């Protein structure tokens, strides 16, 4: 009689053979592994571990094991069936591949000459034969028919491959992201059915222009929804082909166009300042420095100083320019290179400045929402978006400090050197920052700003920051007689829910002597700024301006978690590729 051994601790089902030296681990597997012919003449010996004595299994253990063994047998039969089905499919595909090589698709010269068109222009061509080129965005096989969705950058088109058009070698091996040229009759889809644009292309002739790989190199294997963020960053060039990424960039283009139109409506002229500069605007610590033909130079932090020089000749001006900040910040709202929309206006007051910023933003959003195409993009990306109500709330810096304290929003305490003070948490044993109330003179942190804005849930102009927290060129607020405390500036930040600061602006120092004193206070050599100082020498005036971060504005508009999604190829510390 055959004896099979089971050791529940040291035994192994997969590689065991039931002997004393190589016992199985489970009685169920032992029963499963015993052939039907040997079942009647086989006995089983089981033990819990190597220190126990082998013994026959109990009746209840055997009953349970037989049930589990039946489950294993079902799995085996299922695996066999799947293997057989997979083999049959492979054989069928191989036969289809071999047969497809015999089929040569040619264009029928007797058919109507096709009209070459972009997808966005197809609606007026329904009922006609058209030729469209693009990339395979989706593919679905259905018996003898293949449905594909074509993408050409202007839209999406559903196409149908039937007959010989679906039997060629190219049809059998077609992969996502291959570039193709499709020719056929454009027909409106029947009532009750849906397709992009309301029509589909019944293909009678097509060809592959650029093949795409399958297997491991297939597009969906390199990139999918579960991909790690670092992989998504490395493969940004492929991410852009997705519907969400391309929609964000399409909305970005529309946003810039709408901003330009709003500025034109308000009589601001666009200019193009340089990116290579030899002056600082926002402090030397965040400058990207490089050698410029033997001279020190920087990538611009802001075009503001150049915009100011345009006021006497061109009037109010704006620019859309890249700005660069060498700030080692990895937050979701910071980039090392970003698109900076800046404007400068002459003969205005501080109140005029905030009113202008509000008007430009609201007029721009209105333009996007009144346009069906851009309104649809916003609806897709941010279904709950509502245009901001006017007027925007205005809150002074001092009032914001009081508001934060009233709402128990604290900040980490710092020592004299600016280091965060910590103490050990009794429960976790970890060092945690000591939290304290805000005080006048604090630079309100990004997290506190965002908390406040999210609670209020509306745009907020935060204005009147202390001079020591702001740039040298900002105009100071006049002091009331006997007023004590810090000197405040005519400066403002516009905060938006979910994002925080998207605009920073101020009135500029108009008096030359005051500007020279500001250079001295900040330790700035005035010599390289001679051209900026001259604006106060030759007919100064009250003027102000601001900068808007396009990526932050777009993150607010399209409800994106990070500004990195709002840039074509985002740059942040450690990332300068692709």
Rounded to an integer, what distance in angstroms lies between the CA atom of residue 254 and that of residue 261? 10
Burial of 164 from C-beta contacts in 10 A (0-12 / 13-18 / 19+): middle
The pLDDT of residue 283: 67
Q: Mapping DSSP to helix (H, G, I), strand (E, B) and coil, where does residue 570 land?
A: coil
For residues 57-91, b (16+ Cβ closer than 10 Å) or e, as one string? beeeebeebeeebeebeeeeeeeeeeeeeeeeeee
Burial of 179 from C-beta contacts in 10 A (0-12 / 13-18 / 19+): middle
Give every residue of the chain whose pLDDT is below 70, as ranges.
283-284
- What is the DSSP secondary-structure string of 299-357? E-S-SHHHHHHHHHHH-SEEEEEEEE------STT--SEEEEEEEEEES--HHHHHHHH
Q: Which of 181, 174, 182 is nearest to 212 (CA)?
A: 174
What is the CB-side half-sphere exposure of residue 360 using CA atoms within 13 A?
Answer: 30
Q: Mapping DSSP to helix (H, G, I), strand (E, B) and coil, where does residue 143 land?
A: coil
Cα 342–345–348 angle (5° rounding)?
140
Q: What is the 3-state secondary structure (H, E, C) of 251-302?
A: HHHHHHHHHHHHHHHCCCEECCCCCEECCCCCCHHHCEEEEECCEEEEECCC
Q: Is the pTM of this model over 0.75?
A: yes
């Amino acid at each position: 009689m055959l004896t099979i051994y089971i050791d529940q601790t040291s035994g192994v089902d997969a590689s065991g053979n039931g002997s004393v030296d190589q016992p199985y681990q489970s009685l169920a597997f032992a029963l499963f592994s015993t052939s039907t012919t040997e079942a009647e003449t086989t006995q089983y010996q089981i033990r819990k571990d190597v220190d126990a004595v082998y013994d026959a299994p109990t009746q209840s253990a055997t009953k349970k094991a037989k049930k589990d063994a039946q489950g294993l047998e079902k799995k085996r039969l299922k695996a066999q069936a799947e293997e057989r089905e997979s083999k049959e499919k492979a054989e069928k595909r191989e036969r289809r591949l071999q047969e497809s090589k015999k089929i040569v698709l040619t264009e029928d010269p007797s058919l109507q000459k096709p009209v070459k068109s972009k997808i966005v222009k197809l609606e007026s061509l329904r009922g006609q034969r058209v030729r469209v080129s693009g990339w395979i965005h989706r593919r679905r096989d259905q018996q003898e028919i293949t449905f594909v969705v074509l993408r050409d950058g202007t839209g999406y088109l559903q196409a149908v491959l039937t007959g010989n058009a679906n039997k060629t070698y190219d049809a059998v091996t077609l992969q996502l992201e291959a570039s193709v040229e499709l020719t056929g009759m454009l027909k409106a889809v029947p009532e009750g059915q849906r397709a992009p644009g309301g029509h589909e292309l019944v293909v009678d002739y097509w060809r592959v222009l650029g093949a795409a790989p399958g297997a491991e190199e297939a597009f969906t294997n390199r990139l999918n929804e579960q991909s790690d963020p670092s992989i998504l960053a490395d493969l940004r060039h492929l991410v852009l082909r997705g519907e969400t990424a391309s929609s964000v960039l399409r909305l970005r283009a529309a946003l810039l166009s709408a901003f330009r139109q709003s500025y034109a409506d308000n009589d601001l002229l666009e200019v193009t300042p340089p990116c290579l500069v030899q002056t600082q605007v926002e402090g030397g610590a965040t400058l990207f420095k490089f050698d410029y033909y033997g001279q020190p130079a920087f990538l611009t932090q802001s075009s503001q100083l150049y915009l100011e020089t345009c006021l006497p000749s061109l009037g109010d001006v704006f620019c859309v320019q890249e700005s660069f900040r060498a700030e080692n910040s990895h937050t979701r709202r910071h980039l090392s290179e970003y698109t900076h929309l800046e404007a400068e206006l002459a003969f205005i007051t501080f109140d005029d400045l905030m009113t202008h910023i509000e008007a430009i933003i609201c007029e721009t959003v209105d333009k996007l929402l009144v346009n069906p195409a851009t309104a649809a993009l916003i609806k897709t990306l941010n279904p709950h978006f509502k245009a901001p109500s006017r007027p925007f709330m205005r809150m002074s810096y001092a009032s914001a400090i009081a508001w934060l304290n009233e709402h128990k929003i604290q900040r980490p305490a710092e020592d004299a050197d600016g280091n965060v003070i910590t103490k050990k948490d009794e429960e976790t044993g970890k060092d945690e920052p000591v939290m304290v109330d805000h005080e006048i003179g604090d630079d309100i942190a990004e997290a506190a700003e965002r908390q406040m804005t999210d609670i209020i849930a509306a745009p907020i102009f935060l204005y009147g920051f202390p001079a020591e927290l702001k740039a040298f060129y900002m105009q100071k607020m006049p002091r009331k007689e006997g007023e004590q405390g810090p000197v405040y500036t005519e400066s403002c930040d516009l905060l938006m829910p979910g994002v925080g600061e998207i605009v920073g602006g101020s009135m500029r120092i108009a008096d030359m002597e005051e500007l020279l004193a500001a250079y001295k206070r900040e330790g700035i050599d005035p010599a390289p700024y001679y051209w900026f100082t001259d604006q106060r020498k030759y007919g100064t005036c009250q003027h102000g301006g601001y900068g808007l971060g396009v990526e932050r504005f777009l993150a607010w508009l399209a409800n994106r978690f990070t500004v990195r999604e709002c840039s074509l190829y985002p740059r942040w510390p450690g990332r300068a590729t692709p």
